[in-house]
Structure 1
Amino acid sequence: MTDTFTDTILNMTDTAATPEDYTGEDGLLYCGKCRQPKEAYFPEGKTLFGRDRHPRECDCQRAARKEREAAEKQRSHLETVERLKRRGFTDPAMREWTFANDNGKCPQMMKAKSYVECWEQISGGNYGLLLWGQVGTGKSYLAGCIANALMEQEIPVCMTNFALILNDLAASFKDRNEYISRLCSFPLLILDDFGMERGTEYGLEQVYNVIDSRYRSKKPLIVTTNLTLEELQHPEDTAHARIYDRLLEMCCPVCVTGENFWKATAQAKMERLKTLLNGKEICL
């Protein structure tokens, strides 16, 4: 045991030399590249297992170590972001909804960037967003940009919709509370296409339970919806009223007014197809 321990210590205090290294006038080993010592004497003439010196990083070794550490940190970061996006997005296509891929045609995108930049205050103050507007104006994309940007900062986000939530709740009757608690554990929850789910008594009750639980968690919520602000402020019945009241209490309404993305995409595809067919008239 003692010999093994001694060998370990001796290996730790031994300095590996390369062919370019040399011994300086002070008797220490120097790096042949940066000309900095790769050894240092113990203070006050002390020794350890008969040795009077210990390894020291030269500039080359320090630079190499920092490069390795940076590479390892980047690898760990990418793995974390990948894990967060697998867990946080219900559709892999959402990973492409980023500020870098934005076409610049949504005037409210600057608000989304500011939301991310002020996340510390946003999170602490529990400030949510209610993104409303016409179909195809980029509400979901805007929310996805926020989600991607935060996950790139290693902040967990869940972006889902009530159609999936209601299916999950129906499939896990015994674990409903645990499921809702998991949704509320995310620093940011994004509910996409709100209002598209079936308005059954059971469905509305579960919608309220999720939103009310998020409210009580005191964490931000972002909701996208095709409902108008008028519809949200003047609901048709009591069941919808208590849901909408909670949302308007939690989230600041933002009208998204970008051009219809779906129509623009369809038109662009049509033009590309016509080009490929050399202008031949076809029935589409």
Structure 2
Amino acid sequence: MSQFDDMVLNMTQTTPEPEDYTGEDGLLYCGKCRKPKEAYFPEGKSLFGRDRHPAECDCQRAEREKREAAEKRRTHLEAVERLKQRGFTNPAMREWTFENDNGKCPQMKHARSYAECWEQMKAENIGLLLWGKVGTGKSYFAGCIANALMEREIAVCMTNFALILGDLAASFKDRNEYISRLCSFPLLILDDFGMERGTEYGLEQVYNVIDSRYRSNKPLIVTTNLTLEELQHPEDTAHARIYDRLLEMCSPVRFTGENFRKATAQEKMKRLKTLLNGKESRL
């Protein structure tokens, strides 16, 4: 019992610091913030013969809150890191954020609104079909939404059908489990839709994934270089049932403007010429 008694006494006693002092009420006070480090039990109450118990002064409370905030921040960062490792197929997608946006995509405001209204989008199962010419910012738009939601610890998977079909071909026995895992994410983003091979097997698997997502009643975001005209008037029945599902699940958003990739390439070429001309002038 002596060990138990010692443990309880250690819990009920307060260890004073050199600058601490005893106040007029007989309690120990912090020498820094001048707040009590002890408090009396309610009148007539005691514990193991003691009439008081430890209490937090302002200094101790601030230090505890600081530790708790740091631990909460660490736990949050670890959770976000796990989500991004699991949800992105390309590490470069981590940089597709609202903070890194160059402001040249006029549709980006819709991405912010979608992320901000995520709970409503999820509840009403509202998806997006991002269509337009190559290099107009569709993938970046979707990546910004993905990163914003992951920062809120919401799981997102951003992938493409080229990778999905490769995975399905490699693990035929676990095909249903693989598709179920894709559909388990609160938000699924399919990038560069329409770029995959249009074989009979491929089209069947594309339909299986999209139809399963449809039945999961969860939002889907798709980026594609196909035009809305092509999506509304497919070439055959196999494509028709895929496109019909997409148009039912996702609201079309058209991307217009300059080709950012072409502009970036031109800027790099311009920079290269400047550097080379500068080097020549020093020779």
**Shared fold (TM-score greater than 0.5)?**
yes
Aligned-partner Cα distance in 2 for 1:252–1:218? 15
The reply to whether residue 250 of structure 1 matches residue 249 of structure 2 is yes
Q: CA deviation at 1:259?
A: 1.8
The code of the aligned residue for 2:129 comes to L
Q: Structure 1: any 5+ residue segments left out of the alignment?
A: none
2:271 aligned residue: 272
Amino acid at match of 1:39: E
1:59-89, Cα deviation, whole Å (9 max, x unpaired) = 1111111111111111110000001000000
- Taking structure 1 as the reference length, the TM-score comes to 0.97
Partner residue of 2:65? 66
- Name the SS of the counterpart of 2:252 in structure 1: strand
CA 1:6–1:258 in structure 2 vs 1: closer, same or farther (change >3 Å)? Answer: farther
C-alpha deviation, 1:270, in angstroms: 1.0
- Per the TM alignment, residue 139 of structure 1 is displaced from its structure 2 partner at its CA by 0.4
- Equivalence map 1:104-143=2 (5 Å): 104-143=103-142
Q: Quick check: 1:274–1:280 contact (8 Å CA) kept in 2? A: no
CA contact (8 A) 1:123 1:219 kept: yes
Report if the CA contact (8 A) 1:138-1:258 is conserved.
no
Where does structure 1 differ by over 3 angstroms across 4 or more consecutive aligned residues?
A: none
2:194 equivalent in structure 1: 195
CA RMSD, 1 decimal: 1.1
Opposite residue 59 of structure 1, the aligned amino acid is D
Distance 1:92 1:69 in 2: 31
Q: Does 1:169 pair with 2:168?
A: yes
Quote how far apart the aligned CAs of 1:29 are.
0.2
| 1:186 matched residue in structure 2 | 185
CA distance in 2, matches of 1:198, 1:276: 41
Distance in 2 separating the partners of 1:22 and 1:259: 71
2:240 is matched with: 241
Offset of residue 11 of structure 1? 1.2
Q: 1:27 corresponds to which letter in structure 2?
A: G
TM, length-normalised to structure 2: 0.97
Cα distance in 1 between the residues matched to 2:6 and 2:171: 59
- Alignment correspondent of 1:28: 27
Question: SS of the residue aligned with 1:107?
Answer: coil
- 1:273 deviates by 1.0
What SS is found at the alignment partner of 1:101?
coil
1:219 aligns with 2:218: yes
Q: Give the drift of 1:280.
A: 7.4
1:46 corresponds to: 45
Question: In structure 2, what is the Cα distance between the partners aligned to 1:130 and 1:213?
Answer: 17
Distance 2:34 2:94 in 1: 48
| Sequence identity (%) | 85
SS at match of 2:92: helix
Q: Deviations over 1:93-126 (max 9, x none)?
A: 0000001111101000000000001001000000
Amino acid of the residue matched to residue 134 of structure 1?
A: K
Q: Distance in 2 between matches of 1:218 and 1:5?
A: 57
